[in-house]
Homo-oligomer: A and B are copies of this chain.
Amino acid sequence: MAVVVVERILDAEPDFLVDNGADLIAGTIARGGGRVTAATEETTSGANRLRGELEGRIPFPVVVINDSPLKQLIENQYGIGPAVLDGFNRATNTVVAAKTFVVFGYGTCGRSLAKVLRNLGAVVTVVEIDPVRALEAAYDGMRVMHIEPALEEADGLFTVTGRPGIVRREHFPLLKDGALLGNVGHFGNEIDVAALEELAVERRELRDHVVEYLLPGGSRVRLLARGEMLNLSAANGHPIEVMDLGFALQAHSIRALARDPAAFVHGAQPVPAAINRAIGAEMLRTLSTTRLAPLPQ
């Protein structure tokens, strides 16, 4: 958040903060606390600040939304795969079935995407350095490979590792001609786009969100959404359900913090289990799959 915005918000002397990145909380601490009695923090990177540089200095409770198991479930396990598919469809208008895809990284997000692709009729290869996760991928019906042989036979590739520099300069010439290359990781640095730009002898925009690079050897690499998060760049971003859940967690947490501040400790802490259960039950009640029957309490 721009510093000036943070300062203007804090000038209004809020009682509660709904923060995103911990800027408001850090600013409040810098000012000595003010009237703030409690806060929520949406992001993991904000939570890292609360548990790092700000640790022990926060004079009020902060509920970290992103830690909620519901958030993991709805956003990472079920939201990511379909959202990336949506971005892929719009950018390329090509069928997923009968293609070979490589997914880099088999954490919750990579698994979500790999399963969506496989369920639509693709052959999916997973590249994953942790052997336990790689074994999970194999039991989920994915092929597991080292990066080099995986590159050679892929029609499409997605980086979902959360680490920089996964697809690098030496990898581009190994790709099959016409391969589609996209990123799902939060930061746009998993594919080395700068190296690709440098390497290419020609560059042209094929469609919205698709740039084709001609390599010296004659093969073509088609980069999706400039290597930025495909689901956010080429589609609508998070589906409604994911946004709804985030707001529900915020609202329930703020209400609990306002009603009974004494039930919370100072500093960062997870969403109370009772709130996760209440929102889970509420979401169940909205589903038609469960409409014909009374639901778990």
Given contacts A95-B242, A144-B293, 9 further A-B contacts (CB under 8 A): A70-B132, A78-B98, A97-B141, A129-B297, A131-B280, A131-B296, A132-B280, A145-B293, A146-B294
The answer to whether B79 touches A289, judged by C-beta atoms less than 8 angstroms apart, is no
How far, in whole Å, are A156 and B263 apart by their CA atoms in the complex?
42
The answer to whether B295 touches A146, judged by C-beta atoms less than 8 angstroms apart, is yes
The answer to whether B138 touches A289, judged by C-beta atoms less than 8 angstroms apart, is yes
How far, in whole Å, are A136 and B136 apart by their CA atoms in the complex?
19
Which of A7-15, A44-52, A113-121 is the contact stretch? A113-121
Q: In residues 254-297 of chain A, which contact B (Cβ within 8 Å)?
A: 276-278, 280-281, 283-284, 287-297
Q: In residues 119-136 of chain A, which contact B (Cβ within 8 Å)?
A: 119-123, 128-132, 134-136
- Point out the residue from B85, B99, B289, B294 that lies within 8 Å of A287, measured CB to CB: B99
CB contact under 8 A between A78 and B139, given known A119-B120, A120-B119, A150-B293: yes
**Residues of chain B lying within 8 A (CB to CB) of residue A240:** 92-95
CB contact under 8 A between A146 and B293, given known A120-B119, A241-B95: yes
**Residues of chain B lying within 8 A (CB to CB) of residue A95:** 78-79, 82, 239-242
Tell me if A252 is interfacial: C-beta within 8 Å of chain B.
Answer: no
| Smallest CB gap from A242: residue in B | B95
How far, in whole Å, are A109 and B278 apart by their CA atoms in the complex?
25
Q: In residues 240-256 of chain A, which contact B (Cβ within 8 Å)?
A: 240-242
Task: State the oligomeric state as a number of copies.
Answer: 4
Chain A 87-102 interface 0/1 with B at a Cβ cutoff of 8 Å (1 = within) = 0011011111111100
- Point out the residue from B98, B132, B284 that lies within 8 Å of A276, measured CB to CB: B132
A/B interface sample: 5 pairs, CB < 8 A: A73-B132, A93-B236, A116-B120, A123-B143, A146-B294
**Residues of chain B lying within 8 A (CB to CB) of residue A92:** 240
**Residues of chain B lying within 8 A (CB to CB) of residue A78:** 95, 97-98, 121, 139
Tell me if A69 is interfacial: C-beta within 8 Å of chain B.
Answer: yes
Min CB gap A111→B, angstroms: 12
CB contact under 8 A between A132 and B277, given known A86-B90, A236-B93: yes
**Residues of chain B lying within 8 A (CB to CB) of residue A82:** 89, 95-97, 120
**Residues of chain B lying within 8 A (CB to CB) of residue A278:** 131
Tell me if A217 is interfacial: C-beta within 8 Å of chain B.
Answer: no
